[in-house]
Structure 1
Amino acid sequence: MAKGIESLDALAAVIPLLKSAIPTEISIALCDMEQFTAYWPSAHIDLNIKPGQRLQEGEPLMQAIRNDQALRAEVPAEYYGVAFTGTAAPVKDLSGRVIGGIAVQVRRHSELIEIADRIAGSLSSANEKIAHLAEGSGALAEGSGELLDLSKQAEKNAYEADGVVQLIKEVADQTHLLGINAAIEAAHAGERGAGFGIVASEIRKLSGQTVTSNNSIRDTLGTFKKLTAQMSGSIDRIADTGQNQAKSTEQLSDMIEEIREMAARLNEFAKQL
């Protein structure tokens, strides 16, 4: 310390006032050249120093007195149950002679640092999982889009098949008409047209079967068109949901990253306390 105090007792008289005026938790120990003369613990920092307790060799306060040099050390929580920053400095009288020493312990906000670290770690892990979820949502939206295109193409093909069905119907109608005409001609020919009449009957039977099959195909195509239309609507909704989910997870990821940065700043601030 700088020159200026009259005695250790004079310094001891003002320490309680200084301790109460400092807006952070500290404990203060005062000693002469051989032993502690006073100790003011705090609510959480109590080194159990007793007046009259002798200084130990290698103790920071002893080193500060002997070397006339201030020391500083970071003491972890495992030693006294709470982490703190400790300083030790020589005390000099008005003539500049070292007459003792003072040690100050300032509590470090290790709990705050630990909480900030945990928050940052949890947010980083959550951000990774959300990033994977966003990738999956994007893939879902892309796959749904491709499936939607295929569904619409199938629906389009089903409508194009209507032309084929119509063509089959026209052929069946013409075949039926041909069978009727053949039957009429066979009747005109009498016995000589008996064989031709059998052929005409088979043509008409084939025409009837073609009409029946064509109607069945038409009904099947109608059902298929309805199903493909419904499937297209469902896939379209799935695609929209996937896209919305991808956007939401991206926004959530940005928010978590922002909170993680705030936790990192909180960590730095806590280390400075």
Structure 2
Amino acid sequence: MTKDIDSLDSLAAAIPLLKAALPVEASIALCDMRQFTAYWPGERINLNIKPGQLLQEGEPLLLALRSGRALRAEVPAEYYGFAFTGTATPVKDGNGRIIGGIAVQVRRHSELIEIADRIAESLTQAGEQVASIAAGSGGLSDASNDLLGLSRQAEENAYGADGVVRMIKEVADQTHLLGINAAIEAAHAGEAGAGFGIVASEIRKLSGQTVSSTNSIRGTLDAFKKLTAQMSGSIERIAETGQSQAASTEELSAMIREIREMSAKLNEFAKQL
């Protein structure tokens, strides 16, 4: 409580020096028992108080005058467009009689707090998105590995089918040779072997068709093996990319968590200013 003041005029004379000496921007209002007598606004904090303006019911200064106690209040931005911390202190003369009051308003660093809150909110949303991406990357990597396994199995099956085709061709070659031998024997038999010669001719024809078909199948299998090999290579690259992306998103998540912690500390620091 300010006391031993000769008069409000003497206090008013000292306030400009006091205001200039403050390490923070502030506005200062002085009043007697019923009205404001002087006001010194700050560059960024101005409540537009006019000398002669009557104290209103509920005014912190009027409450301080009536209670004889200093008051402090945190005024939100809804009232004046910016948040500030205000104090209201009774002023006593040398006889201990309250002759007026002094109010000091210091603008809070609400912008800094708001920025810190927005950063924290944005980081939370970014963290959720990164977590979703990381989960998707992990799923992509797993699916790629499964697909790679199936592709390699298909490639192995193609090589297995290639063995079956070789065996069919060998049977066809043997059948063709058998048809030639049968035709020779039919020729030796003369007219009696004419029917057998027709059968031998059909056998050779069938074996020739079989060889042609196996060659076609072999070409298809070769193309299939080449495609599955290319597909396996592509899937391997996709799997590697997914794993790399998952690792990168995990590092990014760690960075976001660290920045979020720094933002929380900034918020606490701003509230203490």
TM-score of the pair, normalised by structure 1: 0.93
Q: Residue in 2 aligned with 1:251? A: 251
TM-superposed CA distance for 1:4, in Å, is: 4.3
* 1:132 paired to 2:132: yes
- Specify the SS of the correspondent of 2:176: helix
Q: Residue in 2 aligned with 1:181? A: 181
Contact in 1 for aligned 2:5/2:94 (Cα 8 Å): yes
1:143-185 residue CA offsets vs partner (Å, 9 max, x unmatched):
1111011001111111122211111111111111111111111
- What amino acid maps onto 2:219 in structure 1? D
- Specify the SS of the correspondent of 1:30: strand
- Specify the SS of the correspondent of 1:104: strand
Contact in 2 for aligned 1:44/1:82 (Cα 8 Å): no
TM-superposed CA distance for 1:3, in Å, is: 4.2
- Specify the SS of the correspondent of 2:211: helix
1:91-120 residue CA offsets vs partner (Å, 9 max, x unmatched):
223443323211111101222222222222
Contact in 1 for aligned 2:2/2:90 (Cα 8 Å): no
TM-superposed CA distance for 1:208, in Å, is: 0.8
Q: Residue in 2 aligned with 1:71? A: 71
Q: Residue in 2 aligned with 1:89? A: 89
RMSD: 1.8
Contact in 1 for aligned 2:29/2:38 (Cα 8 Å): yes
Which whole-Å CA distance do the structure 1 matches of 2:28 and 2:260 have between them? Answer: 37
Runs of 4+ in 1 over 4 A off after TM superposition: none
- Specify the SS of the correspondent of 2:46: coil
Which whole-Å CA distance do the structure 2 matches of 1:141 and 1:132 have between them? Answer: 14
Q: Residue in 2 aligned with 1:161? A: 161
Q: Residue in 2 aligned with 1:224? A: 224
Once the two structures are overlaid, the 10-residue window that deviates more, 189-198 or 42-51, is: 42-51
Once the two structures are superposed, the pairs formed by residues 37-116 of structure 1 within 5 Å of their partners are: 37-116=37-116
TM-score of the pair, normalised by structure 2: 0.93
Once the two structures are overlaid, the 10-residue window that deviates more, 53-62 or 142-151, is: 53-62
TM-superposed CA distance for 1:253, in Å, is: 2.2
Q: Residue in 1 aligned with 2:147? A: 147
- Specify the SS of the correspondent of 1:39: strand
- What amino acid maps onto 1:16 in structure 2? P
Contact in 2 for aligned 1:30/1:101 (Cα 8 Å): yes
Contact in 2 for aligned 1:3/1:93 (Cα 8 Å): yes
Q: Residue in 1 aligned with 2:35? A: 35
Once the two structures are overlaid, the 10-residue window that deviates more, 31-40 or 141-150, is: 31-40
| Cα 1:178/1:5, change in 2 over 3 Å | same
Which whole-Å CA distance do the structure 2 matches of 1:10 and 1:79 have between them? Answer: 32
> Any unmatched runs of 5+ in structure 2?
none
Which whole-Å CA distance do the structure 2 matches of 1:234 and 1:9 have between them? Answer: 87
Contact in 1 for aligned 2:93/2:99 (Cα 8 Å): yes
Aligned length: 273
Which whole-Å CA distance do the structure 1 matches of 2:20 and 2:126 have between them? Answer: 44
TM-superposed CA distance for 1:232, in Å, is: 0.6
